[in-house]
Amino acid sequence: MNLSRLSSIKTKADDLAKLTMDKQLRLAVTGLSGAGKTAFITSLVNQLLLGAENHQLPLWQLAREHRFLGSKRTPQPHLHLASFDYQGGMDALQSQPPRWPSPTHGVSEIRLKLRYKPQSLVWRKLNHTATLNLDIVDYPGEWLLDLPLLNMNYAQWCEHIALSLKDSRKAQLAEQWQAMAQALALNDNADESQLADIAQHYTDYLHQCKAELGMHHIQPGRFVLPGELAGAPVLAFFPISPELANAKVTNKNSNLALLIKRFEYYKEHVVKQFYQQHFVKFDRQIVLVDCLSPLNSGHDSFCDMQLAVNQILHSFNYGQSGVLRRLFSPKIDKLLFAATKADHVTPEQHQHLVNLLGEVVAEGKRHVKFEGINTEIMALASIKATQTGKAQLNGNTINAIKGILQNDVDSQQLTTLFPGEVPASLPKHTFWQQQGFEFSPFQPPQANPYQALPHIRIDQAIEFLLGDKFK
């Protein structure tokens, strides 16, 4: 047998050996509070579990070509992480009336084993199948907002918070914890009870910024989404005036010394540790963004959302001088930006949503792309809650949406409305002055346990994030 023949056989054998191994992929799902992470993961798992026989996934090549053989849940690999409550989400959607799945407040994980027929000619001739172990990880986008803290000391962080209080609305909400902080005797021996009390009022202030002002750029992120750290002393610190924070520590057991110590501990053992334990292991990432609620809340809320999302993108700063480069070398090679709740606007507004999100993330996306990461932007609805309809406006028939409004769950009456036009670019001042957009949340549809959940473009998301793994 000649050498070329032997080489050909060896190549085919090597290809076969590669195909017989189970593939692994770890997908990170992130987004700010309210962006729809839980709904997305619930829908994604639902589509994959039911997609072999009852799929609504025409844009996913594997399903369209009938090469997807099915999937099943298997034990997750990381026993120290909470399990994503898929069944709890489906129970909520199947209840009467249906409810949206409860949001998660920390890192959770679920593993699916996907069985499929590869495209490989060698594989097909042998009539074999292959497997992809897909780990889906849910973690709060707010935790990513803490990354800049790694480049700050306590006094610099206090100055950063002081600058944010130039917003008169924030300053008004901050009055109580600021008064308590000013009355604190910084050089006295530490009073842990007093520090915890002030920290709780600072945490209440952060929650008010989210609830009353629609703000997203909250630091430290663990204060509003503590996860397993709820009640821990590491979260019992708060900012003081920059002048006092810069003062020399004369008593190593003082209130000031303990505030500085807790801030530094938070950076080293919470922020950095989170990245080292979780972020380095991701292969693919989807960032979910709710552009509609901030449009409803006003100019300041929208700008704050834009700031927060771009701050998240700083997590992908893979340059030689970047913080993450110094910590480790990430391996994410595909990143999807998704504008959620596309079913809450009329179909012709979907491209506007894509264009708007594109401008929101433009700066960060350019850097990510420069570093060789494949990116895409799309508008989707994880669980479609509305149908298209018609409405009358000033004597003209226009496209509209219809569904059961979230606050009408008792009546269960369909409402038809036109939410207004989504700006196709970053809103100008005239948009806010002539605000004609009204985002209304809808009740989810009643889920059928034997049918996949209705959606918009989940299949397109699957194709982008996973499609190349099924060749």
pLDDT tens track for 18-60: 455 578 999 999 888 889 999 999 999 999 999 877 668 999 9
- Give me the sign of the Cα torsion angle 328, 332, 335, 340: negative
Q: Is the predicted pLDDT of residue 113 greater than 70, yes or no? A: yes
Q: How would residue 289 be classed by pLDDT, with cut points 50, 70 and 90?
A: very high
Distance (Å, rounded) from C-alpha 435 to C-alpha 68?
46
**What is the structure's pLDDT at 318?**
42
Q: Is the predicted pLDDT of residue 2 greater than 70, yes or no? A: no
Q: How would residue 129 be classed by pLDDT, with cut points 50, 70 and 90?
A: confident
Per-residue pLDDT tens over the stretch 340-377 = 999 999 999 999 999 999 999 888 787 777 777 889 99
**Letter for the amino acid at 144?**
L
- Residue 326, number of CB atoms within 10 A of its CB: 9
Q: Is the predicted pLDDT of residue 378 greater than 70, yes or no? A: yes
Name the packing angle between helices 299-313 and 350-360 (round to 10°). 60
Q: Is the predicted pLDDT of residue 1 greater than 60, yes or no? A: no
Classify burial at 263, counting beta carbons within 10 Å of its beta carbon; exposed 0-12, middle 13-18, buried 19 or more.
buried
- Give me the sign of the Cα torsion angle 90, 95, 97, 101: negative
Sequence-distant (≥ 6) Cβ neighbours of residue 195 within 8 angstroms: 184, 236, 237, 238, 255, 258, 259
**What is the structure's pLDDT at 321?**
35
**Letter for the amino acid at 464?**
F
Q: Is the predicted pLDDT of residue 10 greater than 70, yes or no? A: no
Q: How would residue 8 be classed by pLDDT, with cut points 50, 70 and 90?
A: low
Average pLDDT estimate for 78-107: 91
Q: How would residue 409 be classed by pLDDT, with cut points 50, 70 and 90?
A: low
Q: How would residue 204 be classed by pLDDT, with cut points 50, 70 and 90?
A: very high
Q: Is the predicted pLDDT of residue 194 greater than 90, yes or no? A: yes
Phi/psi region, residue 412 (left: phi>0; alpha: psi -120 to 50; beta: rest), is left
314-320 long-range contacts, CB within 8 A, separation 24+? 314/147, 314/148, 314/364, 315/144, 315/147, 315/275, 315/279, 316/364, 316/367, 316/368, 316/371, 316/373, 317/367, 318/371, 318/373, 319/367, 319/371
**What is the structure's pLDDT at 437?**
72
**What is the structure's pLDDT at 421?**
86
Mean pLDDT across the chain:
86
Higher pLDDT, 64 or 420: 64
Domains and CATH numbers, the chain: 19-139+279-383+449-470 (3.40.50.300), 151-277 (no CATH), 387-433 (no CATH)
- Residue 80, number of CB atoms within 10 A of its CB: 8
Distance (Å, rounded) from C-alpha 332 to C-alpha 86?
25
Task: Compute and round to an integer the Cα radius of gyration of the chain.
Answer: 25
Least confident stretch, 70-74, 158-162, 386-390: 386-390
Q: In terms of residues, how long is the chain?
A: 471
Distance (Å, rounded) from C-alpha 47 to C-alpha 68?
12
Tokens 């540790």 belong to residue: 273
Q: How would residue 275 be classed by pLDDT, with cut points 50, 70 and 90?
A: confident
**What is the structure's pLDDT at 412?**
77
Look up residue 7 and give its two tokens.
């080489």
**What is the structure's pLDDT at 363?**
80
* Preceding peptide of 427 cis, ω within 30°: no
**What is the structure's pLDDT at 150?**
87
Higher pLDDT, 466 or 12: 466
- Residue 209, number of CB atoms within 10 A of its CB: 22
